[in-house]
Amino acid sequence: MRTGAFCRSKKASACADPILPLITYLRSDSLAVSPEAQQAAREVVTRYWGNDYLPPKPPHYATRDKTAQEAHEAIRPTDPWRTPKKVEPYLSPQQYRLYRLIWRRFIASQMKPARYDTLTVDVDALVGGQSGLYIFRATGSALRFAGFLKVYGVDEDAEVMRQGDKGRGRQGDAKRFLHQQGRKGDKGKAIENLVMPDLKAGDGLNLHQLLPKQHFTKPPARYTEAGLIGELKKRGLGRPSTYAAIIETLKNRQYVIIEKKRMAPTPLGFQVCELLEKLMPDVVDVDFTARMEDNLDAIAGGEISRLKTMQDFYQPFQENVAQAKTRARLQRKPAAGGAASPKRKFTRKGKGKSRKKPRSKKSLPNSEREGQSCPACKEGKLVMRSGKFGAFIACSRFREGCRYTEKL
């Protein structure tokens, strides 16, 4: 992200450097941060929120993903002192929101964690004066120390969370952040809605409403593009530089289509997957792909031979391809599933047009020429035959070399 394009539309005094990079290299999933950047972030925290929000030492985060690309630093502002408000005049609304996200996330990562007081209340429902039959549980949290949430405009006072301006500005951003955190454990309830009243053991409660709910197990949802990339990272497949190409290949070849922001496999995608799993199971195995990624990393580090790795892969791969060519067959399925459905072959769009079969011999039209002597060889008899384009007259000695034919 650069401000040059925006600075040229302002006065020269508004931007001393016309080409000013605002963030570090963005194609990276590294967690490493330079000591200079950490020190600058600590100074920003001290300036805006005080020393109480600084940890004793700059935090260091370990990379959990073994496939992480760590040739560059983590994505962060090049200068933490360039707050979102300072650069907002030079950015479009979309660029401003992106920079604000990166700046807040980086500054928050250098601050103390937030602390909550959590209260769990078990309610014993009395039925006919009998206790212990039904137990209801409610859990609530109260923010006691905002910590890194200060960056998002969150204060320890619960009233601050209830106020705001309906989703706009600092308080609105804070409410959205807390609501997202609340979704993870409380089925969409925001943390501000879970503040518990003052209660003591043995207090009596009045039942206002009882809502019976029945829940059913749902199948796993289809992947979104971001969800698929997360699964690839989890399994050690691909690299940050290849994730976008993988998604585009699936869509361009029409293996998947996007429905309600989720990736739905097409019939062609199912067919390709089934054939590859049947004919080349070793190549499409997830563990095989992960091992190949490890081998590529080892080659880059000079630990193993590039030529030997290619030989170990290519020889069995050639054998798999040869076997697949001999075993593969065009698969046809009914389009509607019924026995009388026209046969259609699967194409990239999922289905293809069917073609009428030539008429059987029983339905061939009668011809007065049938049974007469062949005018070419004088030995054979004229007979009715069917071909790709319909019925025609031919010599009965066709197999012996006579090529005489007549159109009907």
Does residue 315 share a domain with residue 366?
no
Judged against a pLDDT cut of 80, whether residue 130 lies above it is answered with no
- Residue 216, in any domain of the structure: no
* Listed residue (139, 146, 189, 188) closest to 171, CA to CA: 146
Segment 245-262 mean pLDDT: 93
Residue pair 286/231 in contact (Cβ under 8 Å)? The answer is no
Does residue 16 share a domain with residue 96?
yes
Domain boundary residue among 316, 332, 348?
A: 332
Judged against a pLDDT cut of 90, whether residue 302 lies above it is answered with no
pTM above 0.85, yes or no: no
Q: What is the CA radius of gyration of the chain?
A: 35
**What is the separation of C-alpha 266 from the centre of its chain, rounded to a whole number of angstroms?**
16
Q: What is the SS3 assignment for 372?
A: coil
- Would you state the structure tokens that stand for residue 213, as one six-digit string? 């709910």
Residue pair 111/54 in contact (Cβ under 8 Å)? The answer is yes
List beta partners, residue 23. Answer: 77
Does residue 377 share a domain with residue 319?
no
**What is the separation of C-alpha 180 from the centre of its chain, rounded to a whole number of angstroms?**
19
Residue pair 158/116 in contact (Cβ under 8 Å)? The answer is no
Does residue 176 share a domain with residue 150?
yes
Residue pair 116/77 in contact (Cβ under 8 Å)? The answer is no
- The active-site residue out of 25, 61, 134, 314 is 25
Does residue 122 share a domain with residue 105?
no
For the ranges 49-53, 91-95, 117-121, 328-332, the lowest mean pLDDT is seen at: 328-332
Does residue 85 share a domain with residue 148?
no
* CATH code: domain of residue 316: 1.10.460.10
Q: Which of 49-63, 235-249, 378-392 has the highest mean pLDDT?
A: 49-63
**pLDDT at residue 50, as a whole number:** 93
**pLDDT at residue 312, as a whole number:** 85
**pLDDT at residue 58, as a whole number:** 92
Q: How far apart are CA 23 and CA 79, in angstroms?
A: 8
Does residue 148 share a domain with residue 68?
no
For the ranges 37-46, 187-196, 269-278, 373-382, the lowest mean pLDDT is seen at: 187-196
If one counts the domains in the chain, the total is 4
Does residue 74 share a domain with residue 10?
yes
- Would you state the structure tokens that stand for residue 319, as one six-digit string? 């054998």
- Residue 214, in any domain of the structure: no
Segment 53-70 mean pLDDT: 78
Segment 29-44 mean pLDDT: 92
The pLDDT-based confidence of 247 (bands split at 50, 70, 90) is very high
Q: How far apart are CA 63 and CA 44, in angstroms?
A: 25
25 is a catalytic site residue: yes
Does residue 313 share a domain with residue 253?
yes
Residue type, 366: N
Domain boundary residue among 109, 133, 150?
A: 109
* CATH code: domain of residue 45: 1.10.290.10
pLDDT in tens, 93-129: 999 999 999 999 999 999 999 998 888 888 888 887 7
Q: What DSSP character marks residue 21?
A: B
Segment 145-154 mean pLDDT: 91
111 versus 320: which is more confidently predicted? 111
**pLDDT at residue 177, as a whole number:** 46
Q: Tokens 């879970």 label which residue?
A: 194
Does residue 105 share a domain with residue 126?
no
Does residue 386 share a domain with residue 310?
no
Does residue 48 share a domain with residue 96?
yes
The pLDDT-based confidence of 160 (bands split at 50, 70, 90) is very low
Structural domain range at position 134: 115-194
Segment 164-190 mean pLDDT: 40
**pLDDT at residue 4, as a whole number:** 41
- Residue 327, in any domain of the structure: yes
Number of C-beta neighbours around residue 304 at 10 A: 15
Judged against a pLDDT cut of 90, whether residue 11 lies above it is answered with no
Domain boundary residue among 147, 176, 194?
A: 194
- Residue 203, in any domain of the structure: no
